[in-house]
Chain A
Amino acid sequence: MRTNTKKSILYTGAISVFIALCISSCSKKLDEYNPAAVSEETVLKNFTGWKAYQSNCYTGLWGSLIGLSYGIVSEVGTDLWTFPYNNGNNLREVIAYNGLTIDYNHVTNLWNFAWGSIKDCNKTIQLSSQLVDGKADDIKILVAEAQLLRAYYYSVLVTQFGSLPLILTDDPVKNLSPKRDSVSKIYAQIIADLRSAFQNLPVTPYENNAQRVTKKAALGLLARVYAQGAGEGLSEGGKSYWVHAKEVADSLINNMAAYKAALYDDFAKVFASANNRNNDEVLFTAYGLNPYDPSYDVFTGNTKPNLYLHYYPKFDDAFTTSDVFKRGVNSNTSNAYYGRLNQQFIAPTKYLINCFDARYDKRWENTFVTAFTNYSGEQAIAGGTSNAPAANVTYAAATVTLTAAICTKYGIDASHVGEKIYPYIDVNAKLAPTFATWQYIPKVWPKGVYTGAISALQTVPNANVHPYPLAADEDRFFAYLSKDPLTAADKKLRRYVTVNIDDLFDPSDPTGSTYKSVVSTNGLPVRELANLFPAMMKFNHNFDGGWLGGNFQQKLGNIMIMRMAEVYLIAAEATLRSTGDGGAAAQYLNVLRRRACRNISDFNATTGMQLTTATTDTVFDEYARELCGEFNRWALLKRNKAFESRLQTYNRTAFTNFVAAKHYNRPIPSSFLNQINNADEFGTNGY
């Protein structure tokens, strides 16, 4: 028993020591090990790490802010755009102010995307003073970029939402009861940021990176912001913002070369495919993805923009897919020339169409597609890329032979039976690595060459632009929406489906905001042709590098946030608003009108292309011709307090529901209000 007790004490003691050791050693080792991340202190204090952080300021641009949501919200609900037929009430909240609420997704997206990167700008600026290394010049430039971007994001927000919390630092503690700051305070901050950015930015982009902003962007935005703030009645140093806007615009116009800013001598060059990535006229761009570069796979933004397809009609609804419109039933969703056209949501108002004098102004066919064609894929077939199914179309398969039935159906004169309609476009199919997959690069079949041999193909600056006006003997397009009304005799000469654009509008709406319905009484040769309208093609990037392969809905091209032409328009607008001098204003507009002439000889007072004086309406018209679709119109009407008058005249559809008391600002999204503690105090902007 004695030995037993001793043994027991020994065991018990050993166990106790063992347990004690275990407890003391284990309890200290509860630290996390995270090899996939680093701490802020280690990396953001030195220049390299900070610079790497600074790039986040750009994340919110391409694909996110400059995508579908802002693209639509910034343009529709104005005198330019309305519903096409069979839009299915889509976007009615912003096109027609019908049911616009705090839940509306596009406004919510706009809000989320615009705010998203402001914190990164704030933090970049904040950390810049604590860096332990780095060259002062580099730091200065990168801070200036952050200031410009912060100013841009705030300018979008204040324009759309009015007064907001002005957040300029990234604090660890987030105030869940945010207070709004006044519109004037926000504008003052934006201007301060832009001025500082202008001072410190270089003329050529930092590291020659085409996304990075430069002096000209700061100056351009400054002009735009002054004009927008002027609409709020603001002034600075005793001078109205209008005066400042004119001064800044003049400064940029007069010193274009010094800032490496430019205005193309020909409007066609602005949207030429070759100029998409490096566009001389661009002041500030949202740089798209390069499908041939490994950076394609590390895109950190939101989805790729699918803005263009909302501005196109659904061809298969209009023509079906069994006669003049080829490519089988899949045509509307995997068309290797047009892309995927299944969102027939936005059409131009009669006002916008009538803004263009297409006899002289080439901006018409460089903005709107009105002639529709089939495409072949002879290049793709020759290249052996038969597993890009959308491009697997022979020249013969893309050629239509007119039958009596077709002619009867579409009202084509019977004399054309047996004639052929050839494709205008031939696409190649080129494989971009990994996820971007196929590039469908278009070339053009010359008129009168029917060999189908790819050696005959021509490269054109912009394959979306078709010959204008379409000749009577044209045999490469199966349908045409004629801006100039064609007589029955004119139509008889043509082997393609011909519709006068005027005939697409419902005459019961004198403002020209209602398209006809697909009903047997619509007076069109085939009632389904009422699905058609001129298609705005500015964002339908159709070049090598502009396609997102298998996904026909999205395109990869750069989207301009601001270009030089706008500065001329701002100058004209500000001149009128500050001095009322119509003659001076006209001079700015003439610069744009001159390069828009299809023949330079048409630039004279007789054709009307050259102006001698300008009114506010002239400026509105010129903005429409030059910048329609380019994230601009809603802000323009807002700053000129012109919604009521212009909607009444040009867009009855939107005017019916427009309530000035609330629709001048967008609703504050419910998702945000749900996350703060003072939602009632913060308010919804009256929604």
Chain B
Amino acid sequence: MAMLFLFSCVSAIAQSKIVTGKITDQATGRPIEGVDINVKGTTTTVVTNSEGSFSISVPSDQSVLVISYVGYGTQEITVGAQTTLSVSMSNSQKKLDEVVVIGYGTTKRRDLTGAIVSVKPEEITARPGPNPMESLQGRVAGLDITRASGQPGAPVNIQLRGTRSFTASGNPLFIINGLPGDYSTLNPYDIESIEVLKDASSTAIYGSAGSNGVIIITTKSGKAGRLSIDFNTYYGYNGWSITPKMRTGDAYLQTKRDAYRWRFDAPTNKWTTTGAIWQSPADDPTIFGPQRWTTFQEGNFVDWADEFLQKKASTQNYSLSIAGGNEKTKGYISFNYTDESGQYRGDEYKLFSTTMRIDHKVKDWISMGGNLVASYVDRDKAQDKLENALVTDPLVKPYNPDGTLNTNLGNNVYNLLLDYQPGVYGNVDNNTKIFLNPYVEIKPIKGLTFLSRAGVHLNFSNTYRFDGIGSVSYTYSNAGIAKARVTQNRYDGYQWENILTYNLRVANDHDFTFTGVSSWYHNQNTNTEMNQSNITSNNFKWYKFSGDQNTTALSSYTMSKTFGLLGRINYSYLGKYLFSASLRSDGSSVLYPTNRWDNFPAASAGWRISEESFMNGTRDWLNNLKLRVGWGITGSAKIDPYSSVSVVESRNMSLGGTTQPIYRNSPFITNPELGWEKSHNTNFGLDATVLRNRIDLTLEYYITNTEGVIYSVNSPVIYGTYTPGTQYQTNINVAETKNKGFEVSLNTRNIVGKDFEWTTSAAFATNKEEILKLTGATANNIRNGSYWLVLGQPVNSFRDYKLEGVWQIGQEADAAVFGRHPGELRVNVPGMKQLATGVFVKTAADGTERYYYTNLAEAQKFNPNLTAATSTYTYTSTDFQVLGHNSPDWSLGMQNVFRYKGIDLNVHLYFRWGQMINYVMPGWYQPGAFATNASPSRTFPEYFNYWTPENPSNDFPVMNYQAITTPGTSGLTYIDGSFFKIKNITLGYTLPANLTKKASIQRLRVYGTITNPLIIAKSPLIKQYDPEMNGSLEYPLTRQLVAGLNLTF
């Protein structure tokens, strides 16, 4: 290489000449602007203008021009005698020569053997917002991204190819510039590329952390020879959330009357209006009670959602980046400021971030560099209690006649507006993140590269909470005590990786790449918390902790270390037959000392069929066809520190009214055998490009068997409890899950004209989860947080009463067998069969039959041996059935981009189908909440169709002031959450280059975006609600309307 360099230098002395030329896109014929043209071996570089033209001085006819353009690959052309060049850059060239970042290295797309998806910068910034991953929703097949909260700064949920683990988080591993990092505050405009590594043959080199997929983010770097300044900004509004219309006014009155109009007469087992409290409107005062009746007559209904949510909360972003450099040194620096206001007053997310990157070639064989990603978040959080507010009694006066807040709404009704008074409430996050990542790279001999990369990752998260005099907590839950809390969490992660790569070409047909890696991580968390109570003035907020008996302090610490060693070989024969194999050995401190190390192998192969000679006949329509198959074992790293060994904790307890220091056993019982969860994944992939690159298709099919899934088994209570009611646990590798899925990624260029272009990209994914093995014992149906673990079912399954509607009038005798009467919920009991009116038989798992009836004579017709006068059945949790699962069956994202001259229109559609959600709102349906003495009174959405003797609804049970919560009610909240939404629509206009050029502006685009304009839920039980929130309703997702500007100098 040194020889080559020398040669170029020498030849540069020869006579020079000027070469001009034009670069066009092969497919469209349109000129390409911004193409780099570099005289090989020199620092001479020019860039094409908006007509695609360039002019460059070359030293000699032997000079080679290196023509490159981001995403279009690189071409080399020897100048020869020409003085004008016309170069068209082809599309297949573009796609297949793309450099793809893989674990601990890069490769060209044509050589890939794993399932890896690359996301381009323009896709990452397509949707304005501070979180780069949010834009990826529906763009990467198999990567399920949802957002449950509309709060500024709220995280997104990410799950790749379904759930495999029970307790471990399903978050993919994020690698930023080579080392694990945090994407959430990374400026989307700073990202050069995102690669999603989906299959184990790609992720096994991350060993114990690779199971949930790996997402590699590379930030932008400077480019030699060109100074580029980018400025991006947008301004807009968040708001216009849809919220359920609650019962107020006449609808409220109607429900009140319904609640009192009927009376269940037990002796006759019938609903009757005789003796009911409401007979006519004259009884309205009785059913309201004197005070509430007065308020009702005044028409004082509160629309709590309206009181709480601002219609238009502003959002703004300013992002400036400067990139440039020369052959030796390249630099990139950016600054970003985001300010998003929430829908709640006082809710604000301010993000300041910067990315800096420098790469310097010290000598020909050694380069150094580093990057710094830093951010500071200042976030004010309002009390997000929309769900509580919506169901709060609407028949109160939140304000006094003089306009001040009413602090006594009475009857246990919280006036949540109290926190909006100035100075009474504060909840602030101050988070500083610094991610510093220097490296040195040495290339001592041809083909050999040694890269040593160290990383420091520091997070300082402080939270300040103040519930001052007059706040909601002060008034209602803290018994008139003002409180403040400060928490300070420090995270420091140290990382050091060494990567040795050796590339070897044998006999020109055999291409080998050997990679060896060592990887060391050491993470520590130190948390402190201070509490102050009895604060006497709201002036003090969290600034005056007194250090006396009203002050308490806590601290805690956790750490973990991992060390990994990796070897990999990549082999390519003639560029047609591709093979890769790797082995990683990982050790971790969280496992028991004797069981710390484990191995994670992988192998994959690819066959580029289109390169075979027998495919010559198809070349005119089949541009590329590749078959891939990969296999590998990956692990899940999410075992809590200190959970594999049993220790004793030092605490204090109260004994006889005095403090007694105690030791007690830690909650985890030692399991020396505990190891990683291991996922065995097999992936089949097919890449095809047809019709002159107009259609580009990738298919993936995978099977992942995860063995040794860690399940935290509760030790039976007869062996003691950690604290009263909290059982000891042991983490054991006992369960097994299976995931199967199919993914389609399709990019088509439907219409390609001179002025008009229409392209579509679609990402479709299915995934089927199944628990194959649980604890290995008889135990099945184990509650796991809000989900249940059930053999043969997906991991996040919901299990509860399966409702068969409501017992109707005429079914009295049947209902009585279950101790129920018309109007109450009817539960499907597994194994229960109806023999006749009022006679049922239930067949147990072991085949034994038991009869249930209220009339012995009727039952004896089926079984003369029965003697008990009655035999009734009570619904219990043993009747629970699997109702659905929280993971979707399939999802489909589709982008359509239309371009006409300078105008671009992007429409993003998104389907997420087959998931069940646990929607909070039906849980608030309480018939008793409309009783006169309800404490507190509540309301519920207008569209909830409840049963009355005149309205045989099967949705909700009877509305009656005496009705009580009966078994089955808990089944009401499980609803099919399938939805379709238009995620966003963007309309942009790029000013013609000849106009902007005069102002030295390379590119100027203005655009407007609307997010979440349309949402359609499948279930009729979901109305005025965005099911993407997954059942929660504290902070509704917003619609967003922004206008923005992209400017490049």
Q: Which A residues are CB-close (under 8 A) to B469? A: 387
A119 lies within 8 A of chain B by Cβ? yes
Whether B716 and A670, one on each chain, are in contact in the complex, defined by CB atoms closer than 8 angstroms, is no
B778 lies within 8 A of chain A by Cβ? yes
**Cβ-neighbour of A302 out of B534, B656, B717, B724 (below 8 A):** B724
Q: From B444, which residue of chain A is reached at the shortest CB distance?
A: A11
Whether A99 and B819, one on each chain, are in contact in the complex, defined by CB atoms closer than 8 angstroms, is yes
Q: Beyond A59-B724, A209-B658, is A37–B649 a contact (Cβ under 8 Å)?
A: yes
- The residues in A between 5 and 22 inclusive whose CB is less than 8 angstroms from any CB of B are 5, 7-8, 10-12, 15, 18-19, 22
- A-B contacts counted at CB < 8 A amount to 300
Q: How far is the CA of A209 from the CA of B563 in the complex (A)?
A: 51
Whether A19 and B411, one on each chain, are in contact in the complex, defined by CB atoms closer than 8 angstroms, is no
Whether B724 and A434, one on each chain, are in contact in the complex, defined by CB atoms closer than 8 angstroms, is no
Whether A298 and B720, one on each chain, are in contact in the complex, defined by CB atoms closer than 8 angstroms, is no
A296, A677, A680, most chain B CB atoms within 10 A: A677
Q: Which A residues are CB-close (under 8 A) to B657? A: 210-211, 277, 287-290, 293, 295
Q: Beyond A115-B718, A674-B781, is A294–B659 a contact (Cβ under 8 Å)?
A: yes
B775 CB → nearest A CB, Å: 9
- The residues in B between 446 and 498 inclusive whose CB is less than 8 angstroms from any CB of A are 448, 450, 469, 475, 477-481, 496, 498
A396 CB → nearest B CB, Å: 19
Whether B478 and A437, one on each chain, are in contact in the complex, defined by CB atoms closer than 8 angstroms, is yes
| 0/1 interface trace, chain B 693-725, chain A, CB 8 Å (1 if under) | 000000000000000000001111111110111
| 0/1 interface trace, chain B 857-880, chain A, CB 8 Å (1 if under) | 000000000000000001011100
Whether A19 and B445, one on each chain, are in contact in the complex, defined by CB atoms closer than 8 angstroms, is no
Q: Which A residues are CB-close (under 8 A) to B90? A: none
**Cβ-neighbour of B587 out of A27, A205, A433 (below 8 A):** A27
B589 lies within 8 A of chain A by Cβ? yes
B109 lies within 8 A of chain A by Cβ? no
A23, A59, A329, A550, most chain B CB atoms within 10 A: A329
B410, B664, B724, B964, most chain A CB atoms within 10 A: B724
Q: Which A residues are CB-close (under 8 A) to B777? A: 176, 676-677
A172 CB → nearest B CB, Å: 8
B516 CB → nearest A CB, Å: 8
Whether B587 and A38, one on each chain, are in contact in the complex, defined by CB atoms closer than 8 angstroms, is no
Q: How far is the CA of A562 from the CA of B781 in the complex (A)?
A: 41
Instruction: Choose the segment among B4-12, B639-647, B904-912 that binds chain A (4+ C-beta atoms closer than 8 Å).
Output: B639-647
Q: From A29, which residue of chain B is reached at the shortest CB distance?
A: B561
Q: How far is the CA of A300 from the CA of B725 in the complex (A)?
A: 11
Q: How far is the CA of A288 from the CA of B657 in the complex (A)?
A: 7
Q: Which B residues are CB-close (under 8 A) to A33? A: 559
A44 lies within 8 A of chain B by Cβ? yes
A12, A434, A435, most chain B CB atoms within 10 A: A434
A330 lies within 8 A of chain B by Cβ? yes
A26, A102, A174, A678, most chain B CB atoms within 10 A: A26
Whether B648 and A212, one on each chain, are in contact in the complex, defined by CB atoms closer than 8 angstroms, is no
User: Size range of the interface on A?
Assistant: 35 or more
Q: Beyond A30-B587, A37-B648, A295-B659, is A333–B412 a contact (Cβ under 8 Å)?
A: yes
Q: Which A residues are CB-close (under 8 A) to B666? A: 37
Q: How far is the CA of A165 from the CA of B447 in the complex (A)?
A: 70
B26 lies within 8 A of chain A by Cβ? no
Whether B275 and A30, one on each chain, are in contact in the complex, defined by CB atoms closer than 8 angstroms, is no
Q: How far is the CA of A672 from the CA of B782 in the complex (A)?
A: 11
Instruction: Choose the segment among B194-202, B332-340, B506-514, B548-556 that binds chain A (4+ C-beta atoms closer than 8 Å).
Output: B548-556
Q: From B496, which residue of chain A is reached at the shortest CB distance?
A: A22
Q: How far is the CA of A332 from the CA of B563 in the complex (A)?
A: 61
Whether A63 and B716, one on each chain, are in contact in the complex, defined by CB atoms closer than 8 angstroms, is no
Q: Beyond A36-B557, A332-B935, is A209–B720 a contact (Cβ under 8 Å)?
A: no
**Cβ-neighbour of A38 out of B565, B647, B659, B720 (below 8 A):** B647
**Cβ-neighbour of A115 out of B652, B717, B723 (below 8 A):** B717
Q: Beyond A209-B658, A290-B657, A295-B652, is A389–B778 a contact (Cβ under 8 Å)?
A: no
A448 lies within 8 A of chain B by Cβ? no
- The residues in B between 527 and 548 inclusive whose CB is less than 8 angstroms from any CB of A are 533-534
| 0/1 interface trace, chain A 622-661, chain B, CB 8 Å (1 if under) | 0000000000000000000000000000000000000000
Q: How far is the CA of A552 from the CA of B552 in the complex (A)?
A: 24
B274 CB → nearest A CB, Å: 11
Whether B480 and A438, one on each chain, are in contact in the complex, defined by CB atoms closer than 8 angstroms, is yes
Q: Beyond A115-B721, A295-B657, A677-B777, is A53–B648 a contact (Cβ under 8 Å)?
A: yes
Whether A322 and B874, one on each chain, are in contact in the complex, defined by CB atoms closer than 8 angstroms, is no
Whether A296 and B654, one on each chain, are in contact in the complex, defined by CB atoms closer than 8 angstroms, is yes
A32 lies within 8 A of chain B by Cβ? yes
Whether A103 and B878, one on each chain, are in contact in the complex, defined by CB atoms closer than 8 angstroms, is yes
Q: Beyond A30-B587, A32-B559, A520-B275, is A434–B725 a contact (Cβ under 8 Å)?
A: no
Instruction: Choose the segment among A106-114, A366-374, A461-469 that binds chain B (4+ C-beta atoms closer than 8 Å).
Output: A106-114
**Cβ-neighbour of B649 out of A36, A178, A680 (below 8 A):** A36
A167 lies within 8 A of chain B by Cβ? yes
Whether B964 and A89, one on each chain, are in contact in the complex, defined by CB atoms closer than 8 angstroms, is yes
Q: Which B residues are CB-close (under 8 A) to A384? A: none
B590 lies within 8 A of chain A by Cβ? yes
Q: Beyond A34-B647, A55-B662, is A111–B550 a contact (Cβ under 8 Å)?
A: no
Q: Which A residues are CB-close (under 8 A) to B653? A: 55-56, 59, 295, 298-300
A49 lies within 8 A of chain B by Cβ? yes
Q: Which A residues are CB-close (under 8 A) to B962? A: 86
A679 lies within 8 A of chain B by Cβ? yes
**Cβ-neighbour of A64 out of B450, B654, B725 (below 8 A):** B725
**Cβ-neighbour of A53 out of B565, B664, B669, B819 (below 8 A):** B664
Q: Which A residues are CB-close (under 8 A) to B717? A: 111-112, 115-116, 672, 675
Whether A287 and B648, one on each chain, are in contact in the complex, defined by CB atoms closer than 8 angstroms, is no
Q: How far is the CA of A677 from the CA of B963 in the complex (A)?
A: 40
Q: Which B residues are CB-close (under 8 A) to A39? A: 647-648
B593 lies within 8 A of chain A by Cβ? yes
Instruction: Choose the segment among A130-138, A263-271, A312-320, A600-608 that binds chain B (4+ C-beta atoms closer than 8 Å).
Output: A312-320
Q: From A174, which residue of chain B is reached at the shortest CB distance?
A: B719
Q: Which B residues are CB-close (under 8 A) to A29? A: 561
A118 lies within 8 A of chain B by Cβ? yes
Q: Which A residues are CB-close (under 8 A) to B714? A: 675
A258 lies within 8 A of chain B by Cβ? no
- The residues in A between 187 and 245 inclusive whose CB is less than 8 angstroms from any CB of B are 205, 209-212
Whether A112 and B724, one on each chain, are in contact in the complex, defined by CB atoms closer than 8 angstroms, is yes
Whether A58 and B647, one on each chain, are in contact in the complex, defined by CB atoms closer than 8 angstroms, is no
Q: How far is the CA of A455 from the CA of B126 in the complex (A)?
A: 76
A52 lies within 8 A of chain B by Cβ? yes
- The residues in A between 62 and 114 inclusive whose CB is less than 8 angstroms from any CB of B are 63-65, 86, 88-89, 98-99, 101-103, 109, 111-113
A357 lies within 8 A of chain B by Cβ? no
Whether A387 and B480, one on each chain, are in contact in the complex, defined by CB atoms closer than 8 angstroms, is yes
**Cβ-neighbour of B479 out of A44, A299, A550 (below 8 A):** A550
Whether B549 and A434, one on each chain, are in contact in the complex, defined by CB atoms closer than 8 angstroms, is yes
A576 CB → nearest B CB, Å: 35
Whether A295 and B275, one on each chain, are in contact in the complex, defined by CB atoms closer than 8 angstroms, is no
A-B contact pairs, 24 of them (CB 8 A): A7-B444, A26-B518, A30-B561, A38-B650, A39-B648, A43-B648, A52-B661, A56-B653, A59-B723, A102-B876, A103-B878, A117-B721, A119-B719, A170-B720, A209-B656, A212-B655, A298-B659, A300-B662, A329-B411, A333-B935, A387-B480, A434-B550, A437-B478, A551-B479
Known interface pairs A117-B721, A167-B718; 16 further A-B residue pairs with C-beta atoms within 8 A, sorted by A's residue number: A8-B445, A19-B500, A22-B520, A26-B518, A39-B648, A55-B655, A88-B964, A116-B721, A167-B719, A210-B656, A211-B657, A290-B658, A293-B658, A302-B725, A387-B480, A675-B717
Which residues of B pack against A, CB within 8 Å? 2, 275, 289-291, 408, 410-412, 442, 444-445, 448, 450, 469, 475, 477-481, 496, 498, 500, 516, 518, 520, 533-534, 549-550, 552, 556-557, 559-563, 565, 587-590, 593, 596, 641-642, 645-666, 669-670, 713-721, 723-725, 777-779, 781-782, 819, 874, 876-878, 928, 933, 935, 962, 964
The 7 nearest A-B residue pairs measured at CB: A550-B479, A119-B720, A211-B656, A11-B444, A99-B874, A290-B657, A116-B721
